[in-house]
Amino acid sequence: MERERNSAASTLNHSTSSIFPILLVDFVAIAFVYFMPHLVKITGIPLYLIDPMRLWVLTALIFTNKLNTLVLVLVLPLLSHLVGGHPHIVKSILLSIELLLNVSFLYYLEKHWTVFWSAFVSIIISKSIYYILKFMSLNFGWIQGDLLSTPLWIQAVMTIVMSFYVTSFYRFYPKKIKNK
């Protein structure tokens, strides 16, 4: 009887300790996306240039689980569209596709390469596919605007920074990315 009670307490403790990072990451990510238009307006700092949705999806990938990461991949662009009217719904779909590809390629490549190169290449591939799809959407008239809204040099710097970010935290949370 005592063993069953200890086992139940251990299971409860494990489940609450594993849900806390999920709730924390989700709350902060959703709050950031929700308040980002207001923060940009108040501060004048173009926070969208740091690729915040990718940053939060990679944070979820490190600190939570696959299911939660996939939920954020779908929710963050949609929430951004619903709350701020930006990006356009087609671009929100393209962003979700890009983030889904980023996470999928990262999971796949990590089995074969170092974490840094897996993160780096997965971002490059997903961005490339995003720009191909965006180019097609512009040509079909589904969206308006420029193909490149963020300068390439900023995207390159952020790709390197995010690759180092994933690599740095991977040392402390290896089971979150590694697919054993």
Domain boundaries, the chain: 24-177
Q: Are 98 and 129 in contact (CB under 8 A)?
A: yes
pLDDT at res. 176: 52
pLDDT at res. 37: 86
pLDDT at res. 1: 43
Alpha-carbon torsion, ordered 53, 98, 63, 13, to 10 deg: 100
pLDDT at res. 177: 54
C-alpha–C-alpha distance, residues 57 and 31, integer Å = 14
pLDDT at res. 8: 38
pLDDT at res. 161: 97
* Residue among 100, 110, 85, 116 nearest 178 (CA): 110
pLDDT at res. 180: 36
pLDDT at res. 38: 87
pLDDT-flagged residues of the chain (< 50): 1-16, 179-180
pLDDT at res. 4: 42
In our burial notation (b when 16+ CB lie closer than 10 A, e otherwise), range 131-169 reads eebbeebeeeeeeeeeeeeeeeeebeebbeebbebbbeb
